[in-house]
Structure 1
Amino acid sequence: MPEPTDHDIRERAHRLWEQAGKPEGREDEFWHAAEQELRNEDKSNPMRTPDTL
């Protein structure tokens, strides 16, 4: 799977923000958390093919 898109990260960050009670001033924190979650999901995907053999 390619790198997560800004759209994917934005959607995930918004969900995380809502789950946290919509705190103000922590946009970067949620963006980075969402980006990391999406990257980790890709690494744990059993359908993912290794970049190198």
Structure 2
Amino acid sequence: MSEPTEQAIRERAHRLWEQAGEPEGREEEFWRAAEQELRNEDKSSTMRTPDTL
């Protein structure tokens, strides 16, 4: 399992910030949320098994 890249976190955090109405002063909150979302996506993708081999 790999860690999300800084660029991926930045893009996700920006999207989350926009969706929340672009509030000021909450950069760290959105950064942490983006990082967690990306890690969770990575975990769920590694848990999937192919339907056919």
Q: Which runs of 5+ in 1 are unaligned?
A: 48-53
- 1:3-48 superposed Cα distances (whole Å, 9 cap, x missing partner): 100000000000000000000000000000000000000011126x
Equivalent pairs: percent with the same residue? Answer: 79
Distance 1:24 1:6 in 2: 21
Q: How does 1:5-16 map to 2 (within 5 A)?
A: 5-16=5-16
Q: Which runs of 5+ in 2 are unaligned?
A: none
Deviation at 1:2, TM superposition (A): 1.5
Greater share of residues in helix: 2
- Superposed CA RMSD in Å reads 1.1
Q: Which has the larger radius of gyration?
A: 2
Distance 1:42 1:35 in 2: 11
Distance 1:37 1:9 in 2: 9
Scaled by the length of structure 1, the TM-score of the pair is: 0.84
The alignment of Structure 1 onto Structure 2 pairs a total of residues equal to 47
Segments ≥4 residues shifted beyond 2 Å: none
